[in-house]
A and B are shown apart, each in its own frame.
Chain A
Amino acid sequence: MTMESLEQIKTRVEAAVPGAKIDIIPNPGPAQQSSLLIDNEHAAAVAKFLRDDSALRLDFCSNATGVDWLDRTVKKTVKVKKIVDGEEKEIDETTEEFFPGYLEAVYHLYSMTHKHGPVIIRMRTADRAENARLPSLTPVYRSAEFQEREIFDLYGVRFDGHPDLRRILMWDEFVDYPMRKDYREPDDYEYEPTPHDDVLEKAKMHYSARPQLDGAENITAQS
């Protein structure tokens, strides 16, 4: 069964979810898996539509992952005709365009009912700051639960509406986000039971106060 094209999906989603803004991100490679960029405000509603729409039924979120795009400047050299000393000359003029970096969450959606896919949706954060935020799709797709935790853990994207956002692969005391492109490995600090002097300074840098425990403390007796 063939699926409708991304353009058709875009128009239908924009009609069904008022206010939603969707861009098609083309994929220049031979795989031709283009994707839909969804605005963060309506992401949950759009995902819900994609899941519940009878023609699409994208009920299976296979893969959710993060991508880090750094700030970049694109240099362009254009030949410009200018009059220098009363004589017309061709001069190379370089313009620099600055693109701010962002973090991206990519979801690969398939349909188990109609056996088609993938439809790839993306969301982008405003910037690469410490507390970059995105809406969570876990309420729509349960399979994103651990994968969004992983994105939070390794990329530092905070997912609003995630039921249980904690570090998953790294330990709780860890401070940085290792999958970011500008991540630098810390010095070769080793744990010492009684640190002192400069070792203590190093230890303080490595271990902030324990922000969250691993969930065991939330377990309480039920009445």
Chain B
Amino acid sequence: MNTTEMLQPPPAMTSRLDGELMEVSMGPQHPSTHGVFRMNVALDGEMVVKLKPVFGYLHRNHEKIGENTSYLGSMPYTDRLDYFCSMTNNWAYALSVEKLAGIEVPERAEYLRVILAELTRLQNHASLLGFLLSDMGAWGTPLMYAFREREKILDLFESLSGSRMMCDYMRFGGCRVDAGPDWMERAKKIVDLFPKFLDEFEKLILSNEIVIMRTQEVGKLSAELAINAGMTGPMLRACGVNYDIRKVDGYGFYPRFKFRVPLGEHGDCYDRLMMRALEMHESVGILKQAMEQIPAGPVMNPKVKIRAFRPPVGEAYGRIEGPKGELGFYLISDGGTNPYRYRVRPPSFINLTVLEDLCLGHTVADVMVILGSVDIVLGEVDR
């Protein structure tokens, strides 16, 4: 077989030897489900003919707990939603409360938020690529390469906020502590070295023949379905839909930075994988600009009373472009110290809406690749 033949998708399987379907319950205790996620799959031979996801193994009713806690009290709990990206979770929540109460944020704090959110994006995408390769059978080594980079960024988070993953760093009206000049120096070094890792990683995996055969033409998603089913983030842009909330809403100081929005063409697993790699390049660009432009000044709005915080009556929906997609918080205030309604719009939960559509007609082994390319974290899916 020559290379062009190998790159062709396998012919559709028409094996139905005894006409019987086999039901398989994949998960919840399965390393490739990225947590405790279950799929009830009906198989015809090796082909998926039906797939029903089963949620709730990690459900703790985050929203109810949020309604019984003060506004500030929910901030550390948002870390536990998508525990890979606590910084962006903090930002989305802080942004919504700021909208709800009409709070201004100092300039330096906005820059710090952009820097931390982009660092989060780097480490989320890097580890996702590692996980995806693990799912495809490249067990261990690529994941360790990705985790080596992630570790550096987590060290940065730790020295700034005191915690590697549960950062609890942002507050409505700014950030908790300022980043010193030595922290900025370290961050700059890490960001400068990141493209080296990216180039190496891309050379190793993105042109790898096995990766291409496992991901191209697998789990194709059309742009129409992606929009209608509410896909966001790299999932959506892999289908060629130009919708990045950093550009559309222009929250934070994103309009001040020059960056491009990578777009896919085919909407298959390879495009989704590629999307992450390209977004990391853009994030490095944003980080370099932000670290150059960041002004001195306070990081917290002194007018905000964080304790006994009572926003005026009303409601607000704030959203940001998280690494996994649109992360939104919908808050209703009745004038009290607790939100009357506290709702999280979880991107990885809604991105799973099309999982069945993506998997139909593919083999069991492809289901793991497709699920991996959706990029879910069960802390956020089940809440």
Chain A residues near B (Cβ < 8 Å): 27-31, 33, 59-63, 65, 67, 106, 108, 112, 115, 118, 120, 141-147, 154, 168-171, 178-179, 214-216, 219-222
Contact = CB atoms under 8 A, between A and B. Distances in A.
A221 B42 CA distance: 9
A168 B316 CA distance: 26
Nearest to B341: A67
Interface in B82-106: 99-102
B93 to A, nearest CB: 14
A31 B20 contact: no
Contact of B317 (A30, A60, A120): A120
B21 A179 contact: no
B314 A30 contact: yes
Contacts of A115: 243, 248
A169 B57 CA distance: 8
Interface in B6-65: 19-21, 23, 25, 40, 42, 49-50, 52, 54-56, 59, 61, 63-64
A106 B313 contact: no
Contacts of A143: 228-231, 350, 353
B362 interface: no
B350 A169 contact: no
Contact of A219 (B42, B55, B352): B42
Nearest to A221: B21
A146 B349 contact: yes
A104 B352 CA distance: 25
Given A65-B345, A179-B63, 17 more contacts: A28-B312, A28-B313, A28-B314, A29-B314, A31-B102, A31-B314, A31-B317, A59-B228, A62-B345, A106-B330, A115-B243, A142-B230, A147-B350, A168-B55, A169-B383, A178-B61, A216-B23
- Give the size range of B's interface with the partner: 35 or more
B324 interface: no
A216 B88 CA distance: 36
B24 to A, nearest CB: 10
A120 B343 CA distance: 15
B78 interface: no
Given A170-B56, A171-B56, A216-B40, A30 B102 contact: yes
Contacts of A216: 23, 25, 40, 52
Q: Which 7 A-B pairs have the closest CB atoms?
A: A29-B314, A143-B230, A30-B102, A31-B316, A215-B52, A142-B229, A219-B42
B171 interface: no
B155 interface: no
A203 B243 CA distance: 50
A62 B332 CA distance: 17
Contacts of A28: 312-314
B241 interface: yes
A202 B343 CA distance: 33
B49 A146 contact: no
Nearest to B42: A219
A142 B64 CA distance: 26
A62 B352 contact: no
B243 A214 contact: no
Contact of A29 (B312, B326, B354): B312
Contacts of A215: 40, 52, 54
B148 to A, nearest CB: 36
B227 interface: yes
Find the residue from A29, A62, A143, A216 having the highest chain B CB count within 10 A. A29
Nearest to A171: B56
B225 interface: yes
A221 B17 CA distance: 13
A150 B85 CA distance: 24
B328 A63 contact: yes
24 contacts: A28-B313, A29-B313, A30-B99, A31-B99, A31-B317, A59-B227, A60-B227, A61-B230, A63-B345, A65-B343, A67-B332, A108-B317, A108-B328, A108-B330, A112-B243, A141-B230, A142-B354, A146-B350, A146-B353, A154-B61, A168-B56, A179-B64, A216-B52, A219-B23
B173 interface: no
B343 A63 contact: yes
B373 interface: no
A103 to B, nearest CB: 12
B71 to A, nearest CB: 14
Contacts of B330: 63, 65, 106, 108
Contacts of B61: 154, 169, 178-179
Contacts of A108: 317, 328, 330, 345
B101 to A, nearest CB: 7
Interface string B141-155: 000000000000000
Nearest to B103: A30
A214 B225 contact: no
Contact of A33 (B23, B232, B315): B315
Contacts of B40: 214-216, 219
B241 A29 contact: no
Contacts of B56: 168-171
Contact of B19 (A31, A170, A221): A221
Nearest to A51: B228
A159 to B, nearest CB: 15
Contacts of B120: none
B345 A31 contact: no
B108 interface: no
